[in-house]
Structure 1
Amino acid sequence: MSIREEMPVLARHEGEWVGTYTLIDTSGKILDQHESHLSCQFPADGPYPYYQVNRYTWADGKKEEHQFPGTYRDKTLWFDSDRILGKAWEIDDSTVILWFSYKSAPGMYLYEMIQISPDNNHRARTWHWFKDHQIYQRTLIQEKRIK
């Protein structure tokens, strides 16, 4: 079976998403905030059944773009890029969980919960950042589909 058939919640994320990332410490103090534009793709051809491009823009003009090719097996989406190592899986009919670590930061990892609305046009995402198994910050993300 294909990724679309075995991960139908993930398949609902296909498209273009814009939103805001807000990074907070454990007391709720805002550490960073920036705008995002994510492209979630399921290419018909090529080496990866999933491909995501994240574009970030800050108010001061700073910009970043990151590519996340994903492989698929056993109802799990796997990431192994120059930047991250991770995996994503579905837990119910509207939720995807993602675990990942940055290769440049040993001892640090994140858990992300991604909720998609029943109409497939809104997402709420939270990242829980851990260092040495202790939470030290969170990222709150609100997004809407633009295409």
Structure 2
Amino acid sequence: MSNIREEMPILARHEGDWVGTYTLIDTQGKILDKYESHLTCQFPENAPYPYYQINRYSWADGKKEEYEFPGIYSEKNLLFDTNRIKGRAWEADDSTVILHFTYKEQPEMSLYEMILLSPCNNYRARTWHWFKNHQLFQRTLIQEERLRS
């Protein structure tokens, strides 16, 4: 039995659906891309993975992408090892989750993400810092709110 909900309570507060906007910028602040998102964060019971995330992205020109991220829990860390990425997430304080991962097809590229969850659990502010060969080359700014049914 996984203790993910008890041992990572901030992560557990992310459960549900989130909609928002991703804005990709270069190191000078120039907008490189902007698109909409719908993420689903799940903690399925009696499933192979104690955490499961689905990211759906859509652009104004009609382009769409979808990615699935099953996560394994171990000692207050959420571990990802998919065909696309390898990384881990951990809680930094009572409102922040940090995620670090590398792209398997581009091992010279890595990303650090900071996810801040509001006290009311309905808003998230996220930033991605993209590195190539250990040099920052772009950032993604993400503003989300919980999808209410």
| Paired amino acid for 2:120 | D
Size of the alignment, in residue pairs?
Answer: 147
Structure 1 position 22, deviation (Å): 0.3
Q: Secondary structure at the match of 1:28?
A: coil
Please name the residue that 1:32 is paired with.
Answer: 33
| Paired amino acid for 1:26 | T
Alignment of 1:88 onto 2:89: yes
Identity %: 72
Structure 1 position 18, deviation (Å): 0.1
| Paired amino acid for 1:118 | P
Please name the residue that 1:48 is paired with.
Answer: 49
**Quick one: distance in 2 between partners of 1:28 and 1:136?**
11
| Paired amino acid for 2:129 | H
Structure 1 position 45, deviation (Å): 1.6
Structure 1 position 142, deviation (Å): 0.2
Over aligned residue pairs, what C-alpha RMSD do you find? 0.7
Structure 1 position 85, deviation (Å): 0.3
Q: TM (normalized to structure 2)?
A: 0.97
Structure 1 position 139, deviation (Å): 0.1
Structure 1 position 94, deviation (Å): 0.1
Please name the residue that 2:141 is paired with.
Answer: 140
| Paired amino acid for 1:91 | A
Q: Which runs of 5+ in 1 are unaligned?
A: none
Q: TM (normalized to structure 1)?
A: 0.99
Structure 1 runs, 4 residues or longer, greater than 3 Å off? none
Structure 1 position 102, deviation (Å): 1.0
Deviations 1:29-87 (A, max 9, x none): 00000000000000012110000000000000000000000000010000000010010
Please name the residue that 1:15 is paired with.
Answer: 16
Please name the residue that 1:72 is paired with.
Answer: 73
